[in-house]
Chain A
């Protein structure tokens, strides 16, 4: 059959963009969210204060920002802290967090699963197990239903 010579660019149009009823999330002003303080977290890790580092890295989560770099940096920092924990201390680390902290930790864990590096998944799985026993399946449901996440 002869080749179609008419343009088929229309096939690549995202029709959802033109839907007048398209659901747009509320803007929450995330321009000033910078993520956890890298310097503070690094110094706490160097001092060996891992509990403190955990608390620090879970501060200022870049939830509302559209800046992908900020989000990537935050994730990298969290991964650094999670990896520096000894396996036996993970449970204590999770216990030191409040409900919101556990939810936020679970968000970072699943974000970490998305881009695995050499040993990250194994460490994240250990943290996942402890966070699950603290937060229950409800915690995971909140990761899945969050419109704006880390």
Chain B
């Protein structure tokens, strides 16, 4: 389930060809529109807050930009020129471009061409060798971080001279022609499921399938710090301050990680989902026998997940406060559930939790 949240509206895809738009009414959400245009499962949605446009991409190898005309969302087809499914899409910070990652082992960077009144795309191909799973834009609207199934997290330049000025130098480099690789990760294995720039853009974090999370700091030579975790692989990661990350994945709970740039360390900061302990019920003899019969054990522990999410968490989105001082973030998972987490409440609820 993919979803994007604006202040009072949500766009999500319940794993089919459609996008549902919900509006907040009181304490609940009501479905207001259904966007039907894709011929395949919608794999990515992104909502641009300033220009109020939604971009969607799907397994039908297409992307659509939706604009609101009155009460109706009208789609515009974008030809991505890919021959495999699109996997993820993100608007750039200035909302004049968006990038689509696909199974065609390339990234389509799309921008609007005024003269012909249509969206055109440029491809970033080298040196990508497998599906792009996740994307995140640098605040300068030029650099793009991409996590791929070829076990690498890379930062590319997505500079489009038709729509923007030459960028100023950043810690990741000063020459940024389109498609240039500014950074390529080393030291972690496994598919890169989630990638995220910090608010300043000077740091990038990624989560890999080998149960590691890593942070790279831009500089003459980028410094990479990684942490091998004891948990199942993480699927999504986001900065909530310049030094703190929240990540979640197959263990169904969000966790805090703290990066110390000076010491060059990345440490586990704590689980953010501490389930309330339910009272231990005694088992009757009948229940014991049933357990023995069904599960070959008369153990009293039920095989029930105590976390809020009952299945892997696939996405974390910042709701309030931005990536520098996040106040609220939201998690959505494969259980179809959406949970909103309040950072202040978490800090006070968990004694040793320190968000720096």
Specify whether A and B are partners: yes
Residue B228 lies at the interface, judged by CB distance under 8 Å to chain A: yes
Residue A137 lies at the interface, judged by CB distance under 8 Å to chain B: yes
B211→A141 contact, CB < 8 A: yes
Interface size, chain B (Cβ < 8 Å): 17
**B232 CB to closest chain A CB, in angstroms?**
6
Residues of chain B within 8 A (CB-CB) of A138 are 211, 228-232
**A147 CB to closest chain B CB, in angstroms?**
6
Residues of chain B within 8 A (CB-CB) of A68 are none
A21→B189 contact, CB < 8 A: no
Known: A135-B230, A138-B229. Is A23-B210 also a contact (CB below 8 A)?
no
Residues of chain A within 8 A (CB-CB) of B209 are 141, 145
**Looking at the complex, which one of A135, A136, A142 makes contact with B210 (CB distance below 8 Å)?**
A142
Residue B139 lies at the interface, judged by CB distance under 8 Å to chain A: no
**A75 CB to closest chain B CB, in angstroms?**
21
Known: A141-B210, A141-B211. Is A23-B230 also a contact (CB below 8 A)?
no
A136→B230 contact, CB < 8 A: yes
User: Can you name the residue of chain B whose Cβ is closest to the Cβ of A148?
Assistant: B189
User: Can you name the residue of chain B whose Cβ is closest to the Cβ of A135?
Assistant: B230
CA distance A139 to B105 in the complex (A): 29
Residues of chain B within 8 A (CB-CB) of A135 are 230
- Chain B 104-135 interface 0/1 with A at a Cβ cutoff of 8 Å (1 = within): 01000000000000000000000001100000
Residue B233 lies at the interface, judged by CB distance under 8 Å to chain A: yes
CA distance A99 to B210 in the complex (A): 14
Residue B150 lies at the interface, judged by CB distance under 8 Å to chain A: yes
Residues of chain A within 8 A (CB-CB) of B190 are 141, 145
B189→A146 contact, CB < 8 A: yes
A136→B189 contact, CB < 8 A: no
Main secondary structure of the interface of A (DSSP, over half): helix
B130→A23 contact, CB < 8 A: yes
CA distance A146 to B232 in the complex (A): 15
User: Can you name the residue of chain A whose Cβ is closest to the Cβ of B211?
Assistant: A138
**Residues of chain A from 8 to 61 with CB closer than 8 A to chain B in the complex:** 21, 23
**Residues of chain A from 95 to 150 with CB closer than 8 A to chain B in the complex:** 99, 103, 135-139, 141-142, 145-147
**B77 CB to closest chain A CB, in angstroms?**
27
Residues of chain A within 8 A (CB-CB) of B229 are 136, 138
A137→B105 contact, CB < 8 A: no
B150→A139 contact, CB < 8 A: no
**B231 CB to closest chain A CB, in angstroms?**
5
Residues of chain B within 8 A (CB-CB) of A141 are 190, 209-211, 232-233
**B263 CB to closest chain A CB, in angstroms?**
17
A23→B231 contact, CB < 8 A: no
- Chain A 66-80 interface 0/1 with B at a Cβ cutoff of 8 Å (1 = within): 000000000000000
A136→B231 contact, CB < 8 A: yes
**B312 CB to closest chain A CB, in angstroms?**
14
**Looking at the complex, which one of A21, A136, A145, A147 makes contact with B105 (CB distance below 8 Å)?**
A21
**A21 CB to closest chain B CB, in angstroms?**
7
User: Can you name the residue of chain B whose Cβ is closest to the Cβ of A23?
Assistant: B129
Residues of chain B within 8 A (CB-CB) of A145 are 189-190, 209-211
Residues of chain A within 8 A (CB-CB) of B105 are 21
**A32 CB to closest chain B CB, in angstroms?**
20
**B181 CB to closest chain A CB, in angstroms?**
15
CA distance A145 to B229 in the complex (A): 14
CA distance A103 to B228 in the complex (A): 10
A146→B230 contact, CB < 8 A: no
Residues of chain A within 8 A (CB-CB) of B228 are 99, 103, 138-139, 142
Known: A21-B105, A146-B189, A146-B210. Is A139-B230 also a contact (CB below 8 A)?
yes
CA distance A138 to B129 in the complex (A): 26
CA distance A145 to B228 in the complex (A): 13
A23→B232 contact, CB < 8 A: no
User: Can you name the residue of chain B whose Cβ is closest to the Cβ of A147?
Assistant: B189
Q: 30 pairs across A/B with beta carbons < 8 Å?
A: A21-B105, A21-B129, A23-B129, A99-B228, A103-B228, A135-B230, A136-B230, A136-B231, A137-B211, A137-B230, A137-B232, A138-B211, A138-B228, A138-B229, A138-B230, A138-B231, A139-B230, A141-B210, A141-B211, A141-B232, A141-B233, A142-B210, A142-B211, A142-B228, A145-B190, A145-B209, A145-B210, A146-B189, A146-B210, A147-B151
Binding site for A on B (CB under 8 A): 105, 129-130, 150-151, 189-190, 209-212, 228-233
Binding site for B on A (CB under 8 A): 21, 23, 99, 103, 135-139, 141-142, 145-147
